[in-house]
């Protein structure tokens, strides 16, 4: 029986490309997102390429916390089990703190952190019942350090979700569930997607969606604890971002 993977935020960008690449690897898919028409288009594309692939779809706004638990349960029931859950849904909105744009920052915080908390809770309820599963948290290279201006709240949420996942891994360490439930945190750098379409697409650090997601999928398949993706240049830049003086950091970003 094929392994199953649930991906949130699957209607576009990294989530949609992950769905394609996991279908290529023989997975059955549980896909959730707000934009159902895009989900239907993606499912049709995948079913044409892989007629044997089971694709279960649900509309989901991750800020509707009751819906997160309901949808995760429905997708588990439809596919029989959930082997992996990728907490991917997120927003890239934000504004400088104290400039009258609190609502934009609040929306990002509620989606990226509180929404991720709801997804993690729902996934872990399923994994604890199964006594098996793999939670994958999509963080960001911006989580390595506090970011300025419009990135401040976004980066803080991505640091928060990384700590959420790492805390869970610490809890499981040394218990009977350590080898049964795995937890991975991915730190993507610049990967072309709708979320970062305002970033200069000509930057040499910008990976194509296909290449960037291939690195993410490879890390997920290895069940690594954490990974900067793509590894080059981001694994090398991570310690620089963490420890560089603020003046140097500002020039880098």
Among candidates 140, 150, 142, which has minimal Cα distance to 104?
A: 150
Candidates 26, 33, 29; CA nearest to 12 is 33
**The pLDDT value given to residue 196:** 57
Give percent of the chain with pLDDT exceeding 70: 96
> pLDDT of 3-14, one tens digit each?
999 999 999 999
User: CA angle, corner 75, sides to 70 and 78, nearest 5?
Assistant: 125
- Quote the CA–CA distance of 151 and 133 in Å, as a whole number: 32
Q: Does the pLDDT at position 45 exceed 50?
A: yes
Sign of CA dihedral 91, 116, 36, 133: positive
Residues 6+ apart with CB under 8 A from 236: none
The overall average pLDDT reported for the chain is 94
Q: What is the pLDDT of residue 253?
A: 72
42 vs 201, higher pLDDT = 42
| Residue with the larger pLDDT of the pair 91 and 198 | 91
Contact 101, 149 (CB under 8 A): no
What's the rounded mean pLDDT across residues 156-167?
98
pLDDT at 193 (0 to 100): 80
Check residue 195 and give its pLDDT: 61
Q: How confident is the model at residue 50 (pLDDT cuts 50, 70, 90)?
A: very high
pLDDT band at 174 (very low <50, low <70, confident <90, very high): very high
Average pLDDT over residues 214-240: 96
Burial class (CB in 10 A: 0-12, 13-18, 19+), 147: buried
User: For residue 203, what pLDDT is reported?
Assistant: 64
What per-residue confidence (pLDDT) applies to 250? Answer: 82
Range of the domain at 96: 4-252
Catalytic, 154? Answer yes
pLDDT at res. 200? 45
Write the pLDDT tens digit of every residue in 190-222.
998 866 555 444 566 899 999 999 999 999 999
Q: What is the pLDDT of residue 249?
A: 82
- Do 130 and 81 form a contact (C-beta atoms < 8 A)? yes
DSSP state of 244: S
Question: What mean pLDDT do residues 47-59 have?
Answer: 98
CATH number at residue 68: 3.40.50.720
Cis omega (within 30 of 0) for bond into 230: yes
Instruction: Note the pLDDT of residue 252.
Output: 77
pLDDT at res. 165: 98
Domain count, the chain: 1
Q: Name the residue with higher pLDDT: 192 or 65.
A: 65
Pair of tokens at residue 179: 């080898």
Average pLDDT over residues 223-237: 96
Is 240 within 8 Å of 230 (Cβ atoms)? no
pTM across the whole model:
0.95
Residue with token string 């044997």: 52
Alpha-carbon span 55 to 51, nearest angstrom: 10
Confidence bin at 83 (pLDDT 50/70/90): very high
Q: Which of 27, 154, 187, 190 is catalytic?
A: 154
Q: Give the span between the Cα atoms of 6 and 182, in whole angstroms.
A: 15
């Amino acid at each position: 029986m094929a392994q199953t993977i649930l991906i949130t935020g699957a209607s576009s960008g990294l989530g949609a490309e992950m769905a394609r690449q996991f279908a290529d690897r023989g997975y059955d898919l549980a896909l959730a997102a707000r934009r159902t028409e895009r989900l239907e288009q993606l499912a049709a594309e995948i079913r044409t390429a892989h007629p044997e692939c089971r694709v279960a779809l649900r509309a989901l706004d991750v800020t509707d916390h009751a819906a997160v638990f309901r949808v995760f349960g429905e997708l588990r029931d439809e596919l029989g089990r959930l082997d992996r859950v990728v907490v991917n849904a997120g927003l890239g909105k934000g504004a400088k703190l104290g400039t009258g744009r609190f609502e934009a920052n609040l929306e990002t915080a509620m989606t990226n952190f509180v929404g991720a908390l709801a997804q993690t809770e729902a996934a872990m309820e399923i994994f604890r019942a199964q006594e098996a599963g793999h939670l994958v948290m999509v963080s960001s290279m911006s989580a390595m350090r506090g970011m300025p201006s419009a990135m401040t709240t976004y980066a803080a949420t991505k640091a928060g979700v990384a700590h959420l996942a790492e805390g869970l891994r610490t809890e499981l360490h040394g218990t009977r569930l350590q080898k049964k439930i795995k937890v991975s945190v991915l730190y993507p750098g610049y990967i072309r997607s709708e979320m970062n379409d305002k970033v200069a697409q000509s930057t040499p650090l910008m990976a194509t969606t296909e290449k960037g997601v291939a690195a993410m999928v490879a890390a997920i398949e290895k069940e690594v604890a954490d990974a900067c993706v793509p590894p080059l240049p981001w694994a090398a830049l991570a310690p620089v971002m963490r420890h560089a003086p603020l003046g140097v950091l500002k020039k880098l970003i």
